[in-house]
């Protein structure tokens, strides 16, 4: 089932506003969760809205991705108490994937929410977005989405999409109840809505929108973009693999790390309430540091830098959705995303798993089969 | 040059491999002292973090060893361990750790002879491989 929302004056944001208002007006929906340009300044943040008047400032197509909202949606859906209302959440595809992973880890649930996902146009890094928004003011989002959808070079004012977005081949909202179609759609006339689940179909029916049709050229547009992104990703993987091939190279890659653990805080799938690296397990005895230094001649402080990153790879790489917030969060500009995406690509590949794609697929490390991976057993004389 | 004496850290489960080590001891079987046994209740409790720590501390190899499939005292801990080893074997070689530096074996409680033989073979293998790159690393 496909429905259309008309677009006037090339204003896609207004079409999203029409959609959000219509959804919020439904009796079954108590609130909508949408990215909104804050009244003060140019920051675009996820916002929980109950009064349709506030939808005036929503800005879902801004090239801003301040945080992966999956964790926040997890907080909104943590318990199943009766009487908790229904919320419609508008998320980027990588936010939906991260949320799906969190639901599998019992950090949220899907019963009380309805996920609306949009074809993703990508975003700049936080740093680049501030500069862009400052230069373009209120027009920033419009300039961005028009440029992206007209197939022009994504670079604006010398600013390109973040590395994570340029390497992203999963820009369609898999897992959403209701999908907003933009790529390959005549967005000067309308945006299209397609139900992907029964929940989505029921909502679409209630919205009573005119029907639309997905144009045949969409498939080609999507394929071309997937190919372009996959090429970029594979080149990135090759360059990264060459840059981390030994422990020494990995240390060089991470040499500006100051153990602030911001990448873990920003990571939507690192969900432990208390990370082992912030416990007193790592308040080593002073003598311990001396003994390390004596054994090696010198030791970099704080210690446990590679240990931290390698542990994170072991703990969360099978759930990595490639959103790139780790790179965004690093105060010292370490580009963690290529490293983690590369490792995740391999670890997820080994278990034939794609993080966030299928709610029914169990996380690899929560299950096992009796006859598998025989090749890792035995010392192979 | 001094001859290279490798350090092998072995996480062995209480019910099978540790018991096998005990049997090897009471049977007066020789095996190289390079192996440092760490007794854990089950291989299923060996967090990848423990293995990473051992390797970064300069262990030349890490062995995880538990009960044969179907024999786990806790029913399925060894299957979980096998998945984690598979995971680490996908991660570690990307950073230049040779696959031989992480090993998983099943050694049952009555396999004292096999325990000693595997330790000898493992130490020989790691000696041939040479010292781990992490031994001298300044940044860990």
Interface check for A295 against chain B (CB to CB < 8 A): the answer is yes
Number of domains in chain A: 2
- Does residue A219 register a pLDDT over 80? yes
- Does residue A381 register a pLDDT over 70? no
Give a yes or no: residue A352 inside a domain: yes
Q: What is the pLDDT of residues A24-67, one digit of tens each?
A: 999 999 999 999 999 988 899 999 999 999 999 999 999 999 99
Question: What is the per-residue pLDDT for A85?
Answer: 74
Same domain, A166 and A295: no
Q: What is the pLDDT of residues B110-132, one digit of tens each?
A: 999 999 999 999 999 999 999 99
Same domain, A23 and A166: yes
Q: How far apart are CA A114 and CA A199, in angstroms?
A: 7
Give a yes or no: residue A379 inside a domain: no
List A residues 317-336 in contact with B (Cβ-Cβ < 8 A): 317-318
Buried b (16+ CB within 10 A) or exposed e, A353-375: bbbbbeeebeebbeebeeeebee
Contact B83 A368 (CB under 8 A): yes
Give a yes or no: residue A292 inside a domain: yes
Prediction pTM value: 0.96
Give a yes or no: residue A220 inside a domain: no
Same domain, A168 and A238: no
Domain boundary among A215, A240, A271: A215
Give a yes or no: residue A324 inside a domain: yes
Same domain, A34 and A171: yes
Question: What is the per-residue pLDDT for A179?
Answer: 98
Contact B140 A303 (CB under 8 A): yes
Domain boundary among A215, A241, A260: A215
- Does residue B67 register a pLDDT over 70? yes
Q: How far apart are CA A46 and CA A68, in angstroms?
A: 9
| Chain B residues close to A318, C-beta within 8 Å | 87
| Chain B residues close to A341, C-beta within 8 Å | none
Same domain, A125 and A236: no
Kindly indicate whether the ipTM for this predicted assembly is greater than 0.95, answering yes or no. yes
Same domain, A183 and A241: no
- Say what percent of chain B tops pLDDT 90: 97
Q: How far apart are CA A178 and CA A176, in angstroms?
A: 5
| Chain B residues close to A368, C-beta within 8 Å | 76, 79-80, 82-83
Question: What is the per-residue pLDDT for A98?
Answer: 98
Give a yes or no: residue A374 inside a domain: no
Same domain, A286 and A344: yes
Same domain, A283 and A172: no
* Overall residue count recorded for chain B in this entry: 140
Confidence category of residue A286, pLDDT binned at 50, 70, 90: very high
Question: What is the per-residue pLDDT for A213?
Answer: 95
| Chain B residues close to A378, C-beta within 8 Å | 103-105
CA dihedral for B19, B23, B28, B29, sign (positive or negative): negative
CB B23 within 8 A of CB B112: yes
Q: How far apart are CA A380 and CA B122, in angstroms?
A: 9
Å from A341 to nearest chain B CA? Answer: 12
Interface check for A315 against chain B (CB to CB < 8 A): the answer is yes
Contact B49 A315 (CB under 8 A): yes
Interface check for A355 against chain B (CB to CB < 8 A): the answer is no
Full domain range(s) for residue A93: 2-215
CB B52 within 8 A of CB B95: no
* Residue in B82, B90, B133 closest to A377 by CB: B82
Report the interhelical angle of A12-25 vs A140-149 (nearest 10°).
Answer: 110
- Does residue A154 register a pLDDT over 70? no
Give a yes or no: residue A257 inside a domain: yes
CB A178 within 8 A of CB A26: no
CB B98 within 8 A of CB A245: no
Same domain, A169 and A266: no
Residue of A nearest to B107 (CA): A378
Same domain, A243 and A210: no
Q: Which domains does chain B have, with CATH numbers?
A: 8-129 (3.40.50)
- Residues of B in CB contact (< 8 Å) with A are 48-49, 52-53, 56, 58, 63, 69-70, 76, 79-80, 82-91, 94-97, 100, 103-106, 118, 121-122, 125, 133-140
Average pLDDT over chain A reads 95
Same domain, A235 and A121: no
Q: What angle do CA B86, B92, B96 make, to 5 degrees?
A: 145
Confidence category of residue B3, pLDDT binned at 50, 70, 90: confident
CB B112 within 8 A of CB B27: yes
Q: What is the pLDDT of residues A325-370, one digit of tens each?
A: 999 999 999 999 999 999 999 999 999 999 999 999 999 999 999 9
Q: What is the mean pLDDT of residues B21-41?
A: 98
More confident residue, A165 or A154: A165
Question: What is the per-residue pLDDT for A83?
Answer: 62
Å from A166 to nearest chain B CA? Answer: 23
Same domain, A13 and A85: yes
């Amino acid at each position: 089932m496909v429905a259309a929302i008309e677009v006037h004056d090339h204003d896609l944001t207004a079409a999203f506003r029409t959609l959000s208002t219509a959804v919020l007006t439904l009796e079954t929906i108590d609130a909508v969760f949408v990215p909104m340009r804050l009244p003060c300044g140019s920051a675009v943040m996820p916002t929980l809205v109950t009064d349709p008047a506030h939808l005036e400032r929503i800005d879902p197509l801004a090239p801003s991705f301040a945080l992966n909202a999956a964790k926040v949606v997890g907080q909104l859906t943590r318990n199943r108490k009766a009487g908790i209302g229904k919320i419609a959440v508008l998320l980027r595809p990588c936010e939906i994937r991260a949320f799906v992973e969190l639901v599998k880890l019992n950090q949220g649930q899907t019963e009380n929410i309805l996920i609306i996902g949009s074809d993703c146009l990508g975003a700049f890094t936080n740093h680049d977005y501030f500069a862009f928004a400052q230069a373009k003011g209120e027009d920033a989002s419009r300039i961005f989405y028009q440029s992206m959808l007209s197939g022009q070079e994504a670079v604006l004012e010398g600013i390109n999409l973040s590395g994570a977005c340029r390497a992203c081949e999963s820009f369609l909202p898999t897992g959403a109840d209701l999908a907003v179609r933009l790529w390959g759609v005549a967005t000067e006339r309308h945006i299209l809505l397609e139900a992907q689940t029964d929940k989505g179909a029921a909502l679409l029916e209630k919205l009573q929108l005119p029907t639309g049709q997905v144009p045949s050229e969409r498939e080609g547009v999507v394929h071309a973009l997937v190919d372009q992104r996959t090429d970029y990703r594979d080149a990135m993987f090759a360059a990264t693999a060459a840059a981390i091939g030994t422990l020494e190279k990995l240390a060089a890659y991470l040499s500006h790390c100051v153990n602030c653990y911001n990448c873990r805080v920003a990571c939507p799938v690192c969900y432990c309430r208390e990370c082992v690296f912030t416990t007193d397990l790592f308040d080593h005895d002073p003598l311990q540091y001396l003994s390390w230094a004596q054994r090696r001649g010198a030791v970099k402080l704080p210690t446990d830098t590679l240990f931290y990153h390698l542990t994170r790879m072991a703990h969360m790489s099978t759930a990595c959705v490639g959103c790139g917030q780790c790179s965004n969060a690093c105060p010292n500009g370490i580009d963690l995303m290529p490293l983690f995406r590369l490792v995740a690509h391999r670890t997820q590949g080994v278990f034939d798993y794609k993080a966030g794609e299928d709610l029914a697929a169990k996380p690899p490390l929560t299950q096992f089969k009796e006859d598998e991976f025989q090749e890792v057993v035995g010392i192979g004389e | 040059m001094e001859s290279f004496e490798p350090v092998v850290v072995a996480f062995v489960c209480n019910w099978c491999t540790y018991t096998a080590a005990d049997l090897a001891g009471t049977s007066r079987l020789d095996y190289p002292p390079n192996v440092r046994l760490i007794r854990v209740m089950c291989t299923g409790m060996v967090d990848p973090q423990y293995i990473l720590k051992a390797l970064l501390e300069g262990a030349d190899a890490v062995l995880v060893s538990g009960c044969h499939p179907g024999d786990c005292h806790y029913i399925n801990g060894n299957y979980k361990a096998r998945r984690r080893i598979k995971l680490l074997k996908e991660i570690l070689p990307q950073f230049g750790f040779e696959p031989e530096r992480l090993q998983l074996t099943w050694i049952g409680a009555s396999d004292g002879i096999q325990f000693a033989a595997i330790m000898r073979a493992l130490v020989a293998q790691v000696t041939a491989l040479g010292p781990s790159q992490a031994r001298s690393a300044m940044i860990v």
